[in-house]
A and B are shown apart, each in its own frame.
With several copies, the nearest count.
Chain A
Amino acid sequence: MTELQTLIGTVRIRNPIILSSGIWGSTYSTLNRAYKEGFGAVTTKSVGLNPRKGHPNPSVIYIPEIKSILNAVGLANPGYDAFSEELREINHEVKYSVSIFGSSSTEFQQIIQHMDNNLTGNTPIAYELNLSCPHAKKVGIAVGTDPNIVYTIVEACKVRTKVPIWVKLTPNITNIKSVAESAISAGADAIVAINTIKAMMIDIHIKKPVLGNISGGLSGQAIKPIGVRVIYDLYERFGSEIPLVGVGGISSWQDAIEYILAGATAIQIGSALIDYDAPQTLVHNILNGLNEYLSREGKSFSQLRGLAHE
């Protein structure tokens, strides 16, 4: 399937379907497996400075009626030090990006520097800055809705590493274009959107929020029309100036194409893995659907990007 090779800035991946952060990607074995099962690239779980056990459970609830997931994992991770050891075990052919969260530009710098030093044997294709997690204090959305902070963080990361910097944005914002603009002018190599949408659920018998953290983020099919609009708006504003990675509710080849037509260069998939015993089926269905679509339309993959704007 050479025709699905995708270029995200300077990064070439074998196909445009990427495993999104926080799904599977906590261990080297799942990252290896996901790549083996067909993803064009894989993203790690977001990693921060210190070990974090995350929020109490329930922290991940599936809502079948709307084929969506409500989660407040709370960025559980073993800290960048232990995690870089984990990532050293990733097979060399696997294209992976490391998702990072932090509360300040120095935190991001510190993590990136450490990763750069530790992962020399198998460099990630990108660092994906999680400026968008909606359910953790002082990080994620807390730093991702202020254009100035976004600028400072991205700039700080860019001076520290040659690895491309991708910036993952939140839809929980009045004007996503202005933070994207900051990120781009600070040198971001790609924009990833969207992270989950602030949401919660209350149990009417116990009369308490279900999530251990009270509130969390919604992902899955419910948010697809919201994610498509974000990508469309970003492409409308920035055109092909910056690669866009579309994420949110993608579960079929049609969904993937919708994002590409809206302006995405590539897409990520998370919640949809719930519907498949092996992601292999999901990824292959999407790749086959994409290929058939391209030959029906007589177009190359790169020609599809942003076509809905014409």
Chain B
Amino acid sequence: MNKQNRIEIPLCLTITDLVFEGEKTATFSFHLPANLELDPIPGQYFMLWLPGDDEIPISISQIENNEKIQFTICSKGQTSANFLRMNKGDLVGLRGPYGNGFDISDKEVAIIIAGGMGIAPLRFIISTLISRTQKKILLIHGARTHDELFFKEELNNTDIDIRYCTDDGSFGFHGFPTIILEEILQKAQQKNLSHEIYSCGPEKMLKGILDIVNQFNLEKNAQFSLADRYIRCGFGICGSCYLDGVGLSICRDGPVFRGDVLQKITDFGSFGRNANGSKYPL
């Protein structure tokens, strides 16, 4: 088992801060007790329990000093919507960190591709790369529309290169981030730099990215966070989140996988499974 410290039994903490990033998205802050030393890795997630309702997996959006931890939640259904109705001071149960996070790697350039809510876990890897490495960082940040380009201001305040794109053309490039990725990789082939790709977003988009990195033989240097599946236990026991093919779990073997592993996952990008285990097309 992972020797990392982990909260297993939901720890109820009050929401110390709640900031709306958009109409249906907010960032929640909590103060972790001082002695826990969880040292989470970007890409890892927590199970967030809304008492009386349900518990959902949410990536760590940011953590400062192992203490102030943030989650960014987008309203997608019952529980996530109810989260957005909570207030500062309300109690939420936290357990985690769970899962396999992003590797920092030794490559010279980090290309980060965020689709929609996928920016949340990537925000954490971006700040980690900035503080711990000298890498050149390029962010391709896509969303449906301008309002959903969360953390724009915060990210603009860093030194990283950012390329925005929106599906509706309301800001930045009008189109999918995958198109920009392809361009960039094409140019990069000419230069002699090594690249590591970090991505999170809808599984369809990740599938598109995988196809592109494959063309460039970069699948081993591309990391994907699959944050779009049903999770129950978080530690690989219950079987709810296993992917077809070799039988890997999102909750424990993932949510971050490298491209060469993703290729063996036969339902990647095509099917998900809901709480009862039946398949639905993505």
A residues bordering B, Cβ < 8 Å?
22-30, 32-34, 45, 51-54, 56-64, 69, 71, 73, 76-79, 82-83, 86, 201, 203, 205-206, 208, 210, 212, 270-271, 273-277
A-B contact pairs, 5 of them (CB 8 A): A23-B237, A62-B235, A201-B9, A205-B12, A270-B237
B residues 37-62 with Cβ under 8 Å of A?
47, 49, 51-56
Asked if A22 and B239 sit within 8 Å, CB to CB, the answer is yes
Residue contact A73 to B8, C-beta cutoff 8 Å: no
| CB neighbours of B232 from chain A (8 A) | 54, 57, 59-60, 73, 76
Q: In the complex, what's the smallest C-beta–C-beta distance from A239 to chain B, in angstroms?
A: 21
Please, how many angstroms separate the alpha-carbon atoms of A79 and B279 in the complex? 12
Complex interface: chain A residues within 8 A of B238 (CB):
22-23, 26, 59-60, 71, 73
The residue on B at minimum CB distance from A75 is B276
User: Is A57 a contact of B49 with CB atoms below 8 Å?
Assistant: yes
CB of A27 within 8 A of CB of B247, answer yes
Is B276 in contact with A32, judged by CB distance below 8 angstroms? no
Chain A, residue nearest B57 (CB) = A57
Residues of B near A71 (CB, < 8 A) are 233, 238
Residues of B within 8 A of A (CB): 1-2, 8-10, 12, 47, 49, 51-56, 91, 93, 95, 232-240, 242-247, 266, 273-278
**Nearest-CB distance from B240 to chain A (Å)?**
7
**Bound: A77/B275 CA distance, A:** 8
Q: How far is the CB of B78 from chain A (nearest CB, A)?
A: 10
Q: Are B1 and A276 in contact (CB under 8 A)?
A: yes
> Whole-angstrom distance between the alpha carbons of A287 and B273 in the complex?
34
State whether A203 and B1 are in contact (beta carbons under 8 Å apart), knowing that A30-B242, A52-B276 are contacts in the complex. no
The CA-CA distance from A198 to B173 in the complex, in Å, is: 57
Quote the shortest CB–CB distance from B10 to chain A (angstroms). 6
Cβ of A27 and Cβ of B51 under 8 Å apart? no
A182 to chain B, nearest CB (A): 30
A79–B95 alpha-carbon span in the complex (Å): 30
Q: Given the complex, which residues of B lie within 8 Å of A201, measured CB to CB?
A: 9
Inter-chain contacts of A76 with B (CB < 8 A)? 232, 240, 275-277
Asked if residues A62 and B275 are in contact (CB atoms below 8 Å), the reply is no
**Across the interface, do B246 and A29 meet the contact criterion of CB distance under 8 Å?**
yes
Task: Tell me the complex Cα distance, A51–B130, Å.
Answer: 47
Q: How far is the CA of A83 from the CA of B276 in the complex (A)?
A: 10
Asked whether, in the complex, the Cβ of B243 is within 8 Å of the Cβ of A29, the reply is yes
Chain A residues with Cβ below 8 Å from B245 are: 29
Contacts of A212 in B (CB 8 A): 54-55
Pair B51/A206 contact, Cβ less than 8 Å: yes
CB nearest neighbor in B for A82:
B278
A31 CB to nearest chain B CB (Å) = 8
- In the bound complex, do residue B9 and residue A78 qualify as a contact, i.e. CB atoms below 8 Å apart? no
Asked if B1 and A208 sit within 8 Å, CB to CB, the answer is no
Contact present for A27 and B242 (CB under 8 Å): yes
Q: Choose from B54, B95, B277 the contact partner of A77 (Cβ within 8 Å).
A: B277
Contacts of B243 in A (CB 8 A): 29
CA distance A274 to B276 in the complex (A): 22
Q: Give the residues in chain A near B239, CB-CB below 8 Å.
A: 22-27, 30, 45
CA–CA, A16 to B245, complex, Å? 26
Chain B residues with CB under 8 Å of A25's CB are 239
Give the residues in chain A near B246, CB-CB below 8 Å: 29, 33
Chain A, Cβ-Cβ closest to B278: A78
- Are B9 and A63 within 8 A (Cβ)? yes
| Complexed CA–CA distance, A45 and B278 (Å) | 13
A52–B274 Cα gap in the complex (Å)?
Answer: 10
Whether A58 contacts B47 by the Cβ 8 Å rule is yes
Q: Which residues of B are found within 8 Å of A277, using beta-carbon distances?
A: 1-2
Task: List the 4 closest A-B pairs by CB distance, nearest first.
Answer: A33-B247, A26-B239, A60-B233, A57-B55
Q: A27-B242, A56-B54 are in contact. Are A78 and B235 (CB under 8 A)?
A: no
Shortest Cβ distance from B265 into A: residue: A29
CB distance from A290 to the nearest CB of B (A): 18
Q: What distance in Å separates the Cβ of B55 from its nearest Cβ neighbour in chain A?
A: 4
Q: Which residues of B contact A45 (CB under 8 A)?
A: 239, 277
Contact in complex: A274, B1 (CB < 8 Å): yes
A23 to B52, CA, bound (A): 26
Give the complex CA separation of A93 and B193 in angstroms. 47
User: What CA separation (Å) do A57 and B10 show in the bound complex?
Assistant: 11
Partner of A58 from B2, B93, B235, B236 at Cβ < 8 Å: B93
- Identify the closest chain B residue to A275 (Cβ): B1
- Given the complex, which residues of A lie within 8 Å of B247, measured CB to CB? 24, 27, 29-30, 32-34
Chain B residues in 8 Å Cβ range of A60: 232-235, 237-238
Known: A27-B247, A61-B8. A78 touches B276 (CB 8 A): yes
B52 CB contacts on chain A under 8 angstroms = 208
Which of B10, B53, B275 makes the CB contact (< 8 A) with A203?
A: B10
* B93 lies within 8 A of A206 (CB): yes
Question: B278 and A58: CB pair below 8 A?
Answer: no
Complex Cα gap A58–B238 (Å):
12
| Minimal Cβ-Cβ distance residue in B for A56 | B54
Contact between chains at A54 and B275 (CB < 8 Å): yes
Q: Which residues of B contact A270 (CB under 8 A)?
A: 237
